Amino acid sequence: MPLLDHFRPPLTLTHTWRTFHGTWAVAIARILNAGVLPPGYYAAPFRDRDGPIEIDVATLGSSVSSVAQESAPRWAPEPELAVAVAWPETDDVRVEVRSEDGDPPLAAAIELVSPRNKDRASAREAFAAKCADHLHHGRGLVVVDIVTTRRADLQAELLTTLDVKEIAGTPEGLSAVSYRSIGRAVAGRLQVWPSELTIGKSLPTLPLWLGEFAVPLDLEASYTAACADLRIRQTG
């Protein structure tokens, strides 16, 4: 299913972007939980009251690491960008991956960017700070931006927050970007897998990092499932 414009007519006449993002987050979590995530992990969608969607990936117990690493597929494409970072001190819709050891620790997050995230400088800075906090705590992060009505570059905002200057060649418009942080001390290393998105083209599969290993995040499969759930068809 090629990427459609969910922020302009004709789609906005029948489906709000919030409806689609919520459905897409559920589809992402469902596919991850149906065999992509190793034992001991689960994904759950989370909706901010102001609209952003996040899918969180959590762990299910203290023994999850060894079990998961033994069963996880060895899939790790080379990053297109790898740089040193100095982690800043930091005090929408996302998909989280969590575990079950008391309060389930967050292992990864998938952020579906909303128009509000790109609206004002303060909103962009807050979004970048949240993403930087995920990376500072060693969580895998994927940011998906299909918002066509705002032109802000959130990846550049995040890299600026991390004081990373080497941003040439990364997408400036619609994009899906996977991030992995290595090292949680003051200094660390950031690996980036960027993918430019284009209306009318298919979506990529990106690595979703869970500590020392990654699982494939098939954005095309979840996007197609969400469109089918809402009876959205390709036009033209």
Q: Which residue has the higher pLDDT, 89 or 12?
A: 12
91 has pLDDT over 50: no
**Average pLDDT, stretch 181-209?**
89
Q: What is the DSSP string of 136-169?
A: HTT-EEEEEE---S----HHHHHHHHTT----TT
Q: Has residue 180 got a pLDDT over 70?
A: yes
What is the per-residue pLDDT across 113-150, written as a single tens digit (0 to 9) for each?
999 999 899 999 999 999 998 998 899 999 999 999 99
Run of H or E residues at 133: helix 121-136
The pLDDT of residue 85 is above 70: yes
Sign of CA dihedral 190, 187, 53, 122: negative
pLDDT of 165 strictly over 80: no
Q: What's the pTM? A: 0.88
CA distances from 115 to 47, 61, 124, 130, 199 (A): 14, 36, 10, 16, 17
pLDDT of residue 53: 84
Judge whether 40 and 67 are in contact, CB under 8 Å. Answer: yes
For residue range 94-117, what is the model confidence (pLDDT) as tens digits?
666 665 555 578 899 999 999 999
pLDDT, one tens digit per residue, over 62-77 is 545 555 556 555 677 8
What are the residue boundaries of the structural domains of the chain, listed by start? 11-229
The position carrying tokens 């689609």 is 20
Strand partners, 42: 58, 98
Give the whole-number percent of the chain exceeding pLDDT 90: 55
Residue 23 has pLDDT above 70, yes or no: yes
